[in-house]
Amino acid sequence: MRDRRSAAARTAVDAAELGRRLREGDRTAAPAALNAIEDRSQAGRDRARALLHEISPAALGGEARAHLIGVTGPPGAGKSSLLSALVAAWRERGRSVAVLAVDPSSRRSGGALLGDRARIEHDPRDDGVLIRSTAAGSRLGGLAPPTREAVQVLAPAYEVVVVETVGVGQSETDVAEVCDTVAVVVQPGSGDVLQFLKAGIMEIPDVLVITKGDLGDVARRARRDLASALRALGARETPVVTVSSIPPPTGIDELVQALDAHRGVVDVKAARTSARRLAALAEFATEHGESGLRALGGRREALLLLEAQDAGLEVPRLVEALERAARQDG
């Protein structure tokens, strides 16, 4: 019993120290914090839970400073080349950048398979850039819980946090819940417009990016097709930016401006509060199933209960609130 208490005390102290460093913007704490998030043992989960509490909006005194950007699109669309150019552009502007590259999981190890750290070009000596590959786990195209938590860990210490997701599908809407701004990347002449219309992906983007702008007429036609598709859907004004990653890159400054402009009109507090509540509900449903939701009176009642909680609470605390209510009602 004493050993368990001392281990818990060490976990709390360790998490408190990491949390303090992240709150102060110490980027050197990020790798250790990510390691804590990725440890799925019980001790690791306890440590991660304590760490998330230390960097919650309540502890920070508001939402973390980072601009959270989702970058998604079909394989081969040029996301890694685009991110190489974007990272360089952000660094030229003096912004610190963290990239979480969500890769398919290895069936043997469960780890990330493709390793985007090797595919996204950056100066490894630059301490203003962190690039980390993270496994998608059992989620096809979606975001596994450790990825969501990793975003929260990085957000206090970096000015830009990018989540690059694998593939495109309906589950890609996960990235829209986590990020302030979502950029969907397509390449011209690939038929992606039709596929997006079928999958409902056109509802996701805040910015549409067409790569390989050096293809000329093909790229210009793709831009017209995407703009027409958005109008046909009655979509809001969504910027469509054409870029080329061939040196010297073109369109990158326009894209940075479009991403910044979107962030400028987002109600960050409301969006992130909603995202945390939806994530808590999803975790509760995964853990307790339909019987757990019934104990709360259904999904709608569960959401109402979450809306009554403090907006600064992190996901684990919100899940605890649902669990307490379920026990009381049961």
Rounded CA-CA distance 97/95 in Å is 6
Give the residue with greater pLDDT, 229 vs 140. Answer: 229
Q: Which runs of consecutive H residues, i.e. helices, occur in the chain?
A: 2-23, 30-38, 42-54, 57-60, 79-92, 145-154, 173-178, 192-199, 217-232, 252-265, 268-295, 299-307, 315-329
Using DSSP, state whether 162 is helix, strand or coil.
strand
31-56: burial string, b at 16+ Cβ within 10 Å, e else? ebbbebbbeeeeeeebbbbbbbbbbb
Using DSSP, state whether 231 is helix, strand or coil.
helix
Which sequence spans correspond to the domains of the chain? 1-62, 67-265, 267-330
Query: Highest mean pLDDT range out of 98-102, 195-199, 224-228?
Result: 98-102
Q: Does the structure show a pLDDT above 70 at 5? A: no
Q: How confident is the model at residue 192 (pLDDT cuts 50, 70, 90)?
A: low
Give the residue with greater pLDDT, 282 vs 194. Answer: 282
Residue 208: its H or E element: strand 207-210
pTM of the model: 0.87
The pLDDT score that the predictor gives to residue 231 is 73
The CATH code of the domain at 67-265 is: 3.40.50.300
CA dihedral in degrees (138, 143, 148, 151; nearest 10)?
120
Residue 184: its H or E element: strand 181-186
